[in-house]
């Protein structure tokens, strides 16, 4: 399908879903965003839903300005995946021990490591730039200076919420049954700390006083506040990328211990909460993708469903109307609280049948029924991406 314009906005707001299905709170947010004087345009992905300040599933192009809320608090959150040489026939009938080995190698939830990861001791991990990366920590907002040890110990850890590690099988096609490894995580506590500090600064700036929503407060180009945010933002985005790289290397090591002859293709990695400098129609803009991936022509990306449904490896079509973007997943159709009130652990077990995963009350809010239909979401963005591989998880590790 193509896009539908959202009426009543100053800047164009293009929607890749039925506008009448967007929750009222999210629709108000989108109109508020479209009214901002710095906004060049907005692309709304089919997984759109209400978020803090800016909607999740929104791509916002701004001229000479950026809104921290349009990135979100988990700066650089995204996906990584790699295809292996294994097939379904290689996997044991009981996947419990494999799940346990993954959980032993990658701390989840609020857990952190006893000691920071030494990149030199992780097989397959990129070795370049680590010293310079950590040196730049000293240039960040001075109020986070005491968090360096925590940031180091959280590198290579999953976090909680909708973050996950999965072992998946390719569905259909010539590689039916091929094993993939996939994970979803971001910049952990340090990204959240940086984001919240800059959001507070932005809300206090004079040019943001009369905004329809103070959570949409922006920084303006050429100001010390913008320079400070961009410095911290770029670092946090790199932290998130390196965090996923560490976990993927550790995950590959777990599988290699079980299957010594395994081989791996080139990994795929993509942010879906971030800022990028891009040009459209000759205009240089800062593009914030909050719950959206870049889908430039030929770009490989990852669009997950939920802990009991399929995920997709995709290739971007470079749709300029969408600022070369696509959805970051299925998107929630109900809040975590509503999910807990609606579903039971028995429902969770039924909806995750055949998946080696947690099935307790602690993850009921992540039940597949709390998410939109990923098949429909994919159908609504056929003009944004093409499917390279359809995956279905057999192991899912949650925080």
| Tens of pLDDT, residues 263-291 | 999 999 999 999 999 999 999 999 999 99
DSSP 91-134: S-S--HHHHHHHHHHS--TT---SS---GGGSTT---TTHHHHH
State pLDDT tens for residues 217-227: 999 999 999 99
Q: In whole angstroms, give the CA distance from residue 68 to residue 302.
A: 24
Pair 259, 357 in one domain: no
Instruction: Report whether 166 belongs to an annotated binding site.
Output: yes
The average pLDDT across 90-119 equals: 96
The half-sphere exposure of 223 on its side-chain side, counting CA atoms within 13 A, is 15
- 8 Å CB contact between 327 and 292: yes
CA 356 centroid distance within chain: 23
42 closest CA partner among 24, 25, 26, 21: 26
Pair 224, 247 in one domain: yes
State pLDDT tens for residues 124-148: 999 999 999 999 999 999 999 899 9
Pair 69, 34 in one domain: yes
CATH of the domain at 46: 3.90.1860.10
The answer to whether residue 169 scores a pLDDT higher than 70 is yes
Instruction: Report whether 109 belongs to an annotated binding site.
Output: no
Number of structural domains (the chain) is 2
Query: For residue 144, what are its two tokens?
Result: 């986070």
Which residue among the candidates 49, 198, 328, 390 is catalytic per the annotation?
328
Pair 347, 317 in one domain: no
Beta-bridge partner residues of 278? 285
Pair 267, 349 in one domain: no
Would you call 328 a catalytic residue per the annotation? yes
**Model pLDDT, residue 1:** 65
Instruction: Report whether 330 belongs to an annotated binding site.
Output: yes
The average pLDDT across 372-382 equals: 97
Instruction: Report whether 164 belongs to an annotated binding site.
Output: yes
Give me the long-range contacts of 193-196 (CB less than 8 A, separation at least 24): 193/144, 193/147, 194/75, 194/140, 194/141, 194/144, 194/232, 194/233, 194/236, 195/68, 195/71, 195/72, 195/73, 195/74, 195/75, 195/236, 196/73
**Model pLDDT, residue 62:** 98
Pair 50, 66 in one domain: yes
* CB contact set of 70 (below 8 Å; sequence gap of 6+): 33, 53, 54, 58, 60, 62, 216, 288, 290
The pLDDT-based confidence of 53 (bands split at 50, 70, 90) is confident
Pair 83, 119 in one domain: yes
Pair 108, 23 in one domain: yes
The answer to whether residue 95 scores a pLDDT higher than 90 is yes
Query: For residue 273, what are its two tokens?
Result: 């909460």
State pLDDT tens for residues 289-336: 999 999 999 999 999 999 999 999 999 999 999 999 999 999 999 999
Query: For residue 253, what are its two tokens?
Result: 């090591």
State pLDDT tens for residues 340-353: 999 999 999 999 99
Query: For residue 184, what are its two tokens?
Result: 């979803």
**Model pLDDT, residue 233:** 98
**Model pLDDT, residue 292:** 98
* Burial class of 143 by CB neighbour count within 10 A (0 to 12, 13 to 18, 19+): exposed
- 8 Å CB contact between 61 and 40: yes
Pair 189, 260 in one domain: yes
Instruction: Report whether 273 belongs to an annotated binding site.
Output: yes
CA 20 centroid distance within chain: 26
The answer to whether residue 399 scores a pLDDT higher than 90 is no
State pLDDT tens for residues 6-43: 988 999 999 999 999 999 999 999 999 999 999 999 99
Pair 213, 355 in one domain: no
- Could you tell me the sign of the dihedral formed by the alpha carbons of 365, 369, 375, 380, in that order? negative
**Model pLDDT, residue 170:** 98
The average pLDDT across 141-158 equals: 95
The average pLDDT across 171-178 equals: 96
45 closest CA partner among 228, 301, 218, 248: 301
**Model pLDDT, residue 294:** 98
Instruction: Report whether 189 belongs to an annotated binding site.
Output: no
Pair 386, 350 in one domain: no
Owning domain of residue 120: 4-333+371-398
**Model pLDDT, residue 52:** 86
Pair 224, 338 in one domain: no
**Model pLDDT, residue 131:** 96
Instruction: Report whether 305 belongs to an annotated binding site.
Output: yes
Instruction: Report whether 49 belongs to an annotated binding site.
Output: no
Instruction: Report whether 328 belongs to an annotated binding site.
Output: yes
CA 227 centroid distance within chain: 24
């Amino acid at each position: 399908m193509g896009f539908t314009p959202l009426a009543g906005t100053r800047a164009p707001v293009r929607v890749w879903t039925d506008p009448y299905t967007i929750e009222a709170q999210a629709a108000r947010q989108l109109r508020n965003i479209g009214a901002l004087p710095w906004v060049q345009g907005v692309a709304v992905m089919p997984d759109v839903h209400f978020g803090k300040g800016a909607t999740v599933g929104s791509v916002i192009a701004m001229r000479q300005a950026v809104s921290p809320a349009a990135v979100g608090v988990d700066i650089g959150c995204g996906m990584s995946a790699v295809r292996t040489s294994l097939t379904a026939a290689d996997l044991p009938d009981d996947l419990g021990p494999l799940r346990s080995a993954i959980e032993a190698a990658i701390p989840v939830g609020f857990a952190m490591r006893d000691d920071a990861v030494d990149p030199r001791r992780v097989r397959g991990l990129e070795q370049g730039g680590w010293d310079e990366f950590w040196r730049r920590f000293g240039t960040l907002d001075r109020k986070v200076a005491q968090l360096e040890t925590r940031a180091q110990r959280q590198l290579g850890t999953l976090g909680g919420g909708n973050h996950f590690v999965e072992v998946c099988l390719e569905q259909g096609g010539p590689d039916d049954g091929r094993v993939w490894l996939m994970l979803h995580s971001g910049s952990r506590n340090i990204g959240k700390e940086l984001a919240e500090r800059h959001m507070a600064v932005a809300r206090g700036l004079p040019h943001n006083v009369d905004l329809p929503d103070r959570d949409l407060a922006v920084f303006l180009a050429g100001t010390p506040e913008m320079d400070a945010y961009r410095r911290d933002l770029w670092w946090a985005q790199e932290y998130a990328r390196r965090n996923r790289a560490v976990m993927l290397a550790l995950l590959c090591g777990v599988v290699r211990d079980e299957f010594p002859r395994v081989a791996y293709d080139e990994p795929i990695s993509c942010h879906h909460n971030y800022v990028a400098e891009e040009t459209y129609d000759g205009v240089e803009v800062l593009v914030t993708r909050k719950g959206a991936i870049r889908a430039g022509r030929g770009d490989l990306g990852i669009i997950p469903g939920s802990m009991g449904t399929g995920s997709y490896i995709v290739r971007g079509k470079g749709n300029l109307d969408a600022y070369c973007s696509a959805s970051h997943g299925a998107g929630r159709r109900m809040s975590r609280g509503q999910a807990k009130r609606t579903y039971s652990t028995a429902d969770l077990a039924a909806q995750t049948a055949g998946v080696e995963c947690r099935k307790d009350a602690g993850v009921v809010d992540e039940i597949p029924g709390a998410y939109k239909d990923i098949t429909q979401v994919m159908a609504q963005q056929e003009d944004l991406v093409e499917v390279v591989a359809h995956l279905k998880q057999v192991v899912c590790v949650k925080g």
